[in-house]
Structure 1
């Protein structure tokens, strides 16, 4: 018996020691937010104050030292995110996650992001301030890689840490540029729809600009094959697999002093990006004798994409311009190595790549390139045949100066310096929003725009052989849409259609007017704005468009076919004010009806796969309000029923019946229980959270949340027929800068500052975000020192 006890005590002691060892190991993986660290190459001491939300306030005697410290603290909180982001453009995701990502790597390699980066690096001046500061930031990252604790994700995947280079910065920006684009989801799909169904069906789609909707106004007074469907499916599959977020849309408005209570500019911005854990932005406040900025940084990029100081503020929304064109190529029938151009036959460029695969053999693949760009037919098995289709993307065409632009806008002292940096952004297309302490408000659309031949629709695959479908000229930046200090005393952007550009309506994948209409409505009806008013507005969950759709379609309800309970809910829907609050039932019924309306109208013609692709486009969002007004369109008839021609009335009634039946199955027979909080939820997903056993350790949430698609508080979701709306896109931050009290400006992140699951800042803002709360963005040094949670000092 004593022997057994000794063995048990021995085992218990071993277990305790193992647990202590494991706890010590885990504790060693946490970021260090206090103490002293040596950072080689510093010219002086750098003091970093971490506030109560883990945001670093970095004070240094010079900017190189500050950027080196920024690189270190950014890496200790976000190295895993940096690692994934730099791998996408180089086709290195399969090295981390295995063979399931080979097609994703093939797709991104064929885009030419990495090749374009290599060409850009040849022309860089290593002695320029931009590259010197970028290298200081990278040196800080690499010092953490060398001497800091290894994030737990590296242990779980087994990948080795590697130093970061300037190449990684450009590849990260290249991914950002592509994730904005919508043409890859839309143009091939529309071509297949036209080939399959004919022009009559396309005439009943909201493809072209609608002049009756709200457009962003300029003001310069003061300053038959199915190949297309297969390409769309391939692109969607590649993007859906990515373990990092995509950039989707955004809101921003800047109110001039004439409309504010305190006579100073108020700036608001909430870029809409795919939710993930960690969230996309890393906040940092950098202060030196000659430079100060409170900025929002993309992983691995040294200069903030969003930022403010005491003099000015800037932010971004997506322009949604058309910067990708697809071309049918014609192969020489007597020489398969050649393709046809207006100047004669040219030789395909052949590109060979090798993809390393975790726990598998290397994968070699080859694709062709034309003068337009990569031929997409061999990037995935399902589109290996058919007519060659190439993709022309403006990002890989001109000289890449985007990093210089980010440096320029983050270092501008006034509106003139700020504007001078913008022409360097050739892609992605951005609406850059601006406000300053002197009372200026401005908006510029930044992109390298180009003019195509008249009457040519770039929403379809073009003719690559004749030379007739080529760009006619590149537009000068002065021709881009913009507004500076307009007489209506505000500027805004909600990814909607801009006014004419160089005398033409510029093609794009603009979102419907829903958010724009609400923003303009609220701004127009009120003066005397203050920070509290703007914070309420940025959380607004009212849709004026969805209520219009209800009003239009409810006319076609046959009340004789409804029971008393249904009549009561329809009456409630008729009186709905368009608000999406947690305890309301009208939003739940509306979205079920809307989904079945679109499904019953279009899936019979498109088929299941093409219909799924259509639901992922901005065109679908534009179609909802526009299509509801269409009384006699060809889409209403169900082509699968031979003995009947369906009308809009038939589709409306069937969709309501389908919605009601599905809600009873999912939420029970009592309509009062069909509240929005039961179906509209937000969970921030980490790549490892897809494993059930790891979900609670890496994912954050889920939370029931207010809002919906295309309201100002745009908490959006995909339609998949489930009837449960898992939010996947929304405000990546909500920022409000009031120049009457700039030191008390406010913001919030979706989860937390840190991407390290062992950090206390991993999810400390998540509930606040879901509740619609804010926190301060501190600029006052005395307040920062007095309230600092911890201090980390870097020495030589």
Structure 2
């Protein structure tokens, strides 16, 4: 039996595309890519015996749920109606809030339970219990046990409101009602596949704390400048020159783009917090310290990516006032750029109380996470909201001096204090348990010793054995119990700016930009999040959170949190629109000091520019205009670099064939563009030629917005030391030589990767999205199973720091899509039924379901689907109706 014989709709309509063959297989994978694939690759190796599975139509269809008729759901107090549209999106109607969330839990378990089970094993540090003796799974468990995500979630259970607890309990009740009396192979195909190598027991009942722990994964992947902070320390170890390190990390202001808000937009003036101090003395650095920092980075790389990370993990959102729209009401757009997996991160849903009241206040639709009740992004009858990652600096690494199980809290006072030490037992399916000793200081868990990296950390420091060894601990706001769960339910019932501000005060982690609009005509912005306050310090390293901090100097301790009242917010700004796409929130020196490491704003500037152009032309905005803007594929990289590249003289006509494509190019990056393919190869090679000889392997340029600013500024300095190739002895290269080499080698690369004829090059042939299941992917899985579960690659336009942000990682040598718009939505506040939405795959997690990837083809080409909200529109769109009864 072949995969083509199986009853599935998991493949897009397009012809299969050619996968990129240009990856440099000799180069180590970058940090972001390791996090993305480590567990999945290891797990599929463990599944090599899966060929013994009887992979029949019966096997793959057994887990499919019923979507119509009457179904008994124990625990309900009344009848619940579920309408599903052509894409299988459920719209749920119930008389009580508890029945509403019980039904959502039941539906999530129907369609997505393995995804939920996988996530809860990851977030509890119990992945090896699920997948067996897989080294990367055990490593992930070690790191997450060190963090103590599950323990923090358990503390949050007693912190959140009684209402939130009742909603989470109802959700868990619905999940468990579906699991009851079903064997693993009746729940999900993945359990059958795993059963080839490990004993698969019936899944444990869902616990409400499982949902809270999932929020920790969301917070981890969207935590802010964590990578930049480590990379600065690693870069200094290689360059030993602060000015050169600073050149690689330019500030947002140096990018020249516009913050989200101007000072005049603020509802109330906020106080200024913190100050950057220049590094004056890095004598605390050493080879042993570099080893400790590298060990911390290696350990944390073991955490699987569940939401998204890296340069591409950002998002676009904007809102325009009714003064600028055809309908006279605001329009809001949002497309979060996150990890792209199958099944997709988001689960579309509508949750409607039959009679909206204080006891049952929900009438909301949007995008949910399987595993958590409610709606994360969407709209209710009065307000729509979108989220983008704010990038606030909520983590700090503390370099600790440790001696046995003590750490130096105050060097001046020579105060050594005991660490908190506990032992964790990691159970491994089919193998002996693993014991893990976890150590913590007052700053947080020691992460540099999570894995077996003792040889890397090094011997006692150069100051003598009395000061022990270096270690690295992590301070992170999400390791403090918070009330983000309360915030999610509060946003679903928000009606105005005051409600949004109140919800934001509860939204501890991750810190997100909130843009919103109301049906009565207002637009606004609100910054939430628990943000550390840092003291101004004139010391060996900056005290602004950009560098690891000396743990033995009390001046570097966090001083508390920025008050929620001081967080930036705006309502109805004068220019009539707000764009939040991961750029700086405020101009430097205005308001609280939220971060120094922002996205450099090329996406936000492009969006602002296109909105401003249409306003100047006097053409009102429509939902279709917003959909088109979300798919804009104009490249700011090309606009900055192509004029310089065209000035480079290439004598050989063969070598110059690629350069000729750039003349007259409009800088758009459609799948058929030969110029986009060539330019991307030039950019990849320029970064390699310029920086690989200077920086550690783990921080090779990914090619995102920061690197565009670095290279753009270097073009004005032809003799900048980074242009020189250190590997060429007695030769000092300059800018023009580096540019020439990048152009010529790109021509040769694409001759091999695509065609000798430059006119036949196509960006889409290189820039493909290959969705991969977290445990059923990679070459070690038999092709029958792998090809059935994982959709065929699709060609994609766009690229990094483009509005249609289908990012790729230049450090890998590959152009494959790594992150992108995980969904797209446009909400018309004048006619909610005229809104549109799409997600990257589909509503179902079952490969045999017609809704497994039925949205993929539309998503890939920028199309969206109608989003009915009112009950008449929902009922008109319904293809299936189910009735859930007690």
Secondary structure in 2 matching 1:751: coil
Q: CA deviation at 1:150?
A: 1.5
Deviations 1:587-626 (A, max 9, x none): 111111111111111111225x2344x5388744653444
Find the aligned partners of 1:249 and 1:294 in 2 and give their Cα distance.
Answer: 23
Find the aligned partners of 1:615 and 1:786 in 2 and give their Cα distance.
Answer: 47
Deviations 1:488-530 (A, max 9, x none): 1011111112214654654243212210110110111123111
Find the aligned partners of 1:180 and 1:627 in 2 and give their Cα distance.
Answer: 30
* Aligned counterparts, 1:77-88, within 5 A: 77-88=111-122
Which residue of the partner structure matches residue 641 of structure 2?
Answer: 549
Find the aligned partners of 2:179 and 2:715 in 1 and give their Cα distance.
Answer: 56
Deviations 1:619-656 (A, max 9, x none): 44653444444433221112222211111111111121
Name which structure has the greater RCO, CA cutoff 8 Å, separation 6+: 2
Evaluate the alpha carbon distance shift between residue 629 and residue 546 of structure 1 in structure 2; reply closer, same or farther with a 3 A threshold: farther
Secondary structure in 1 matching 2:350: strand
Find the aligned partners of 1:347 and 1:538 in 2 and give their Cα distance.
Answer: 53
* Structure 2 residue 751 is matched with structure 1 residue 664: yes
Q: CA deviation at 1:414?
A: 2.6
Which residue of the partner structure matches residue 163 of structure 2?
Answer: 129
Secondary structure in 1 matching 2:744: helix
TM-score of the two chains, using structure 2 as the length reference: 0.83
Work out whether residues 71 and 302 of structure 1, in 8 Å CA contact, stay in contact via their aligned partners in 2.
yes
Which residue of the partner structure matches residue 5 of structure 1?
Answer: none
Deviations 1:679-733 (A, max 9, x none): 01112211203224222111123111111111111111222454x4111211111
Which residue of the partner structure matches residue 820 of structure 2?
Answer: 730
Find the aligned partners of 2:417 and 2:221 in 1 and give their Cα distance.
Answer: 31
Find the aligned partners of 1:205 and 1:238 in 2 and give their Cα distance.
Answer: 26
Evaluate the alpha carbon distance shift between residue 244 and residue 40 of structure 1 in structure 2; reply closer, same or farther with a 3 A threshold: same
Work out whether residues 400 and 407 of structure 2, in 8 Å CA contact, stay in contact via their aligned partners in 1.
no
Find the aligned partners of 2:698 and 2:54 in 1 and give their Cα distance.
Answer: 55
* Aligned counterparts, 1:367-446, within 5 A: 367-382=438-453, 385-386=457-458, 387-397=470-480, 399-446=481-528
Q: CA deviation at 1:370?
A: 0.2
Find the aligned partners of 1:253 and 1:617 in 2 and give their Cα distance.
Answer: 21
Find the aligned partners of 2:180 and 2:715 in 1 and give their Cα distance.
Answer: 59
Of 108-117 and 567-576, the range deviating more from structure 2: 567-576
Which residue of the partner structure matches residue 95 of structure 2?
Answer: 61
Find the aligned partners of 1:456 and 1:574 in 2 and give their Cα distance.
Answer: 47
Work out whether residues 480 and 501 of structure 1, in 8 Å CA contact, stay in contact via their aligned partners in 2.
no
Which residue of the partner structure matches residue 70 of structure 1?
Answer: 104
Indicate which of 453, 471, 475 corresponds to 2:535: 453
* Structure 2 residue 731 is matched with structure 1 residue 696: no
Find the aligned partners of 1:189 and 1:601 in 2 and give their Cα distance.
Answer: 17
Find the aligned partners of 1:710 and 1:480 in 2 and give their Cα distance.
Answer: 27
Find the aligned partners of 2:521 and 2:869 in 1 and give their Cα distance.
Answer: 20
* Structure 2 residue 248 is matched with structure 1 residue 205: yes
Indicate which of 271, 291, 294 corresponds to 1:227: 291
Work out whether residues 222 and 485 of structure 1, in 8 Å CA contact, stay in contact via their aligned partners in 2.
no
Evaluate the alpha carbon distance shift between residue 236 and residue 392 of structure 1 in structure 2; reply closer, same or farther with a 3 A threshold: closer
Q: CA deviation at 1:232?
A: 6.0
Deviations 1:735-793 (A, max 9, x none): 00112221121011111110111211101111111121110111132333243211111
Of 706-715 and 784-793, the range deviating more from structure 2: 784-793
Which residue of the partner structure matches residue 769 of structure 2?
Answer: 682
* Structure 2 residue 779 is matched with structure 1 residue 779: no
Q: CA deviation at 1:284?
A: 0.8
Work out whether residues 677 and 706 of structure 1, in 8 Å CA contact, stay in contact via their aligned partners in 2.
yes
Evaluate the alpha carbon distance shift between residue 130 and residue 506 of structure 1 in structure 2; reply closer, same or farther with a 3 A threshold: closer
Note the aligned Cα RMSD (angstroms). 2.3
Which residue of the partner structure matches residue 144 of structure 2?
Answer: 108
Work out whether residues 440 and 485 of structure 1, in 8 Å CA contact, stay in contact via their aligned partners in 2.
yes
Evaluate the alpha carbon distance shift between residue 365 and residue 501 of structure 1 in structure 2; reply closer, same or farther with a 3 A threshold: farther
Q: CA deviation at 1:64?
A: 1.4
Q: CA deviation at 1:255?
A: 0.4
Find the aligned partners of 2:848 and 2:387 in 1 and give their Cα distance.
Answer: 31
Find the aligned partners of 1:625 and 1:170 in 2 and give their Cα distance.
Answer: 43
Indicate which of 406, 416, 420 corresponds to 1:349: 420
Find the aligned partners of 1:276 and 1:489 in 2 and give their Cα distance.
Answer: 36
Which residue of the partner structure matches residue 193 of structure 1?
Answer: 235
- Runs of 5+ unmatched residues, structure 1: 1-18
Work out whether residues 188 and 228 of structure 1, in 8 Å CA contact, stay in contact via their aligned partners in 2.
no
Find the aligned partners of 2:307 and 2:499 in 1 and give their Cα distance.
Answer: 33
Deviations 1:196-227 (A, max 9, x none): 21223213213433242322224555564332
* Aligned counterparts, 1:174-193, within 5 A: 174-193=216-235
Deviations 1:404-446 (A, max 9, x none): 1111111123332222111111211100111111111111121
TM-score of the two chains, using structure 1 as the length reference: 0.92
Indicate which of 99, 102, 118 corresponds to 2:134: 99
Indicate which of 672, 679, 685 corresponds to 1:583: 672
Which residue of the partner structure matches residue 461 of structure 2?
Answer: none
Find the aligned partners of 1:616 and 1:119 in 2 and give their Cα distance.
Answer: 40
Evaluate the alpha carbon distance shift between residue 23 and residue 588 of structure 1 in structure 2; reply closer, same or farther with a 3 A threshold: closer
Secondary structure in 2 matching 1:36: strand
Find the aligned partners of 1:509 and 1:203 in 2 and give their Cα distance.
Answer: 12
